Chain A
Amino acid sequence: MPVVKVLTEGIGEFDLRDIAVYRERGGYVQWKRALTEMQPADIADITMRSGLRGRGGAGFPTGRKWSFLPNNGRPRYMVCNCDEAEPGTFKDHMLLEETPHQVLEGILLGTYAIGSHHAFIYIRGEFERGYRTFVAAVDAARAAGFVGEKLLGTDYSVEVTVQRGAGAYICGEETALINSIEGRRGEPRLKPPFPAVKGLYGEPTVVNNVETLATLPHLLERGAEWFASVGPERSPGYKIVSVSGHVRTPGNYEVPLGTPLRELLAIAGGPRDGRTIVAVQPGGGSSACLFEEHLDLGYDFDTMAANGTMLGSGAVVFFDDSTNFVEAALALVRFYAHESCGQCTPCREGGHWLEVTLERILNGGGLDSDIDMLVAVSHQMTGLNLCPLGDSIEPFLASVVKRFEAQFRSYVRSPQREAITA
């Protein structure tokens, strides 16, 4: 079994919330080394060479994202995105609550690497406990001299601001997140300009996921080559995969990218007694379903993309043969309808009407044509919005309607069915 312990090392065994425990286990060594021995460009170089791709959903190479910052002498900001709310994802929640200092060390390294002096972490409003945990971690790190003015005898100063959201999935989108930090409604901005050019307070800004930043101390410790040598060439490294759904032991499992989906299923205890897995959603609520014939595919960014879906945030939901896919589709459609910020008409109206249509199908009042319309409307919603939320309904809905069409048809009044009952 290829379960590894890199970011998850020590979780469940030690109280890593305690800065003393974290330091005993090698914590903040890389931050000290970076400050005293390394230039920001060295860290950016290691990150670039490691091939690390963003762990928040888009999978954009982190080193390249940093390289887009203009050299214009303006203040820069590092923003850590901990607004984890993608259905099925619960890795950042764990990292935040169980190993906050590792997250903070990653944030500090990233902030230093991009030449910034002010970092923000935006924590989902529901993570009230995680917020308190992280505020305590920043206070402890400040007392230990890792955050603040002129650190460790150098000229480098850094401030960390912990910001708590207030319940909006859309704030995980980076420009919506920036608006939220600025005290605005969490509505995504028109791009370009991208945040690298004009982000928080109109200044160059990098927004990175919690897991992405928490990887940085390990990259510095073990080197870019160590990371790049794991998994597929264009999709290297380890990834925390949140496995849930119809498995015996759901949980966060850290594996090399490229691990077959079937192996992930086995790691999570396999299917329940007497059940078989019929579908898997490999990348959070916004990804298309794969089916039993796909279980031998490797779990990495490019293989998932080549098969019409995505790795996303690393949330894998397995479905067994007891699943009602009409209800499952409603759960996700309702989610996107509820979380639409309402700026773009296709997303705001499309999501709502799909929800109402699915409700009607489930209540027995649906029409045969409704099922074709579900696919048509969700497709019509894509590519027309400021952000990807409106595009997120189609993948799951279209893939399960196509595969489990009989389940959907069994709910609706069709002329054939009425002829039989008459």
Chain B
Amino acid sequence: MSDVTAPVGADRDFARIAAQVEPIARTIMAQYPNGNVRSALIPVLHEFQNVEGWVSPEAMALTAEWIGEPLSVVESTASFYTLFHRRPIGRYMLQPCRNLSCLINGAGDVMRHFRDRLGIGHLQTTEDGLFSYEEAECLAACDRAPCMQVNLQFVYDLTKEKVDEMLAAMRAGTYDVPPLPQSVKPGRDWSVASATDKKSPGAQGVSHPNDPGGLGDASGVRMIERLTKTPYPVEVRPTKERLVADGAARLAAPPSSQSEH
């Protein structure tokens, strides 16, 4: 059993990681017909994540170089897929299913128990860097609900007792699913949106959709109330004439007021 509590990050050597991944990446790139090497993008990122535990900026840059695409293409694609972690995560990725068949068979209790025991919420990592937690969508194992994945390996028929045993075994380093590699110590949030706080104005103050109450929610409430409670104020609806007049006025206005838009 590997030591799951050893410090990480100090001896990360990306050149060594790259050397380890490159031969596999070359084999993958060769399997697509007519030189369509861009198809290797997702498989190569998987390989980097297998070695490092996450998809680092260096890994994305090198992948871009290998497949001959700009870095923006690789980042854009990587950001689309939930299995790619663009921030370091814990040694054990715990993903209980929150979808229908699991939910009506007690997944709610299991998820609450995980949150209690770990002291973290959805898309967070524990202080010691051991556990990351994400409530996942349907994992296609509804016959053994509630189910979950630990580092992408299935665990079925979850109960609170089973959760306690699992966490204890992971802390002791005796759990039968091997821990993930971890080249850098993770922070508390590994979802990039929450880590960088890049949110649209409507979402400001909303820490998470599960926790409404910020500006975004309030504006939504106001919008809904207006739609459902009051008849639409017809006189302020922009008419074709008004649009034409507005456009003409804007063109006639001095440049300084235009730049406000």
Binding site for B on A (CB under 8 A): 75, 84-90, 92-93, 118, 124-129, 159, 161, 163-169, 180-187, 201, 242-246, 250-252, 281, 285, 315, 317, 319, 323, 327-328, 331-332, 334-335, 337-339, 341, 352-353, 355-357, 359-360, 363, 367, 369-370, 372-373
Contact = CB atoms under 8 A, between A and B. Distances in A.
Interface string B100-142: 1101110010000000000000000000000000001111111
Given A87-B99, A328-B100, A328-B103, A181 B81 contact: no
A84 to B, nearest CB: 5
Interface string B32-47: 1110101111110110
A164 B84 CA distance: 12
A165 B210 contact: no
* Prevailing SS type, chain A contact patch: mixed
A353 B152 CA distance: 30
A330 B138 CA distance: 14
Interface string B220-255: 110011011100000000000000000000000000
B137 A85 contact: yes
Contact of B228 (A251, A331, A373): A373
B83 A183 contact: no
* Prevailing SS type, chain B contact patch: helix
Given A166-B46, A246-B104, A359-B212, A85 B83 contact: no
Contacts of A182: 36, 38-39
Nearest to B79: A185
Contacts of B142: 87-90, 242, 244-245, 250, 315, 317
Q: Nearest 5 CB-CB pairs, A to B?
A: A183-B41, A166-B81, A167-B83, A244-B142, A167-B82
A283 to B, nearest CB: 13
21 contacts: A85-B140, A88-B138, A89-B142, A129-B154, A163-B42, A163-B43, A165-B83, A167-B82, A167-B84, A184-B77, A250-B142, A250-B144, A281-B100, A285-B138, A328-B100, A332-B100, A335-B138, A339-B137, A352-B209, A356-B212, A369-B229
Interface in B5-55: 31-34, 36, 38-43, 45-46
A334 B108 CA distance: 14
B170 to A, nearest CB: 18
Contacts of A360: 212, 217, 221
A184 B67 CA distance: 13
**Residue among B83, B144, B225 with the highest chain A CB neighbour number at 10 A:** B83
Nearest to A92: B140
Nearest to B203: A352
B33 A183 contact: no
A336 B209 CA distance: 14
B33 A251 contact: no
Contacts of B84: 166-167
A258 B110 CA distance: 37
A93 B36 contact: no
B259 interface: no
Contacts of A244: 101, 142-143, 145
Contacts of B212: 356, 359-360, 363
A352 B31 CA distance: 39
Given A128-B153, A369-B224, A317 B139 contact: no
B66 to A, nearest CB: 12
B100 A331 contact: yes
Contacts of A187: 80
A183 B39 contact: yes
B76 A185 contact: yes
Contacts of B191: none
Contact of A126 (B105, B144, B149): B149
Given A88-B101, A128-B153, A359 B209 contact: yes
Contacts of A331: 98-100, 103
A411 to B, nearest CB: 15
A85 B142 CA distance: 11
A323 B104 contact: yes
A357 B33 CA distance: 48
A93 B141 contact: yes
B164 to A, nearest CB: 25
Contact of B80 (A93, A186, A373): A186
Nearest to A96: B140
Contacts of A338: 137
A319 B140 contact: no
A412 B103 CA distance: 22
Given A93-B141, A335-B137, A355-B209, A164 B43 contact: yes
Interface string B54-90: 0000000000000101000100110011111000000
Nearest to A161: B31
Contacts of A355: 209
B101 A245 contact: yes
A341 to B, nearest CB: 8
Contacts of A339: 137
A371 B84 CA distance: 37
Nearest to B147: A90
B101 A128 contact: no
Given A183-B67, A372-B228, A118 B143 contact: no
Nearest to B67: A183
Given A90-B143, A93-B140, A250-B145, 12 more contacts: A75-B33, A161-B31, A166-B81, A167-B81, A182-B38, A183-B42, A183-B77, A334-B209, A337-B209, A360-B212, A369-B225, A372-B228
B141 to A, nearest CB: 6
B231 to A, nearest CB: 14
A125 B81 contact: yes
Contacts of B209: 334, 337, 352, 355-356, 359
Given A163-B43, A369-B224, A317 B101 contact: yes
Contact of B139 (A126, A183, A337): A126
B143 A250 contact: yes
Contact of A369 (B33, B82, B228): B228
Contacts of A181: 39
B150 to A, nearest CB: 11
A327 B103 contact: yes
Contact of A180 (B42, B99, B108): B42
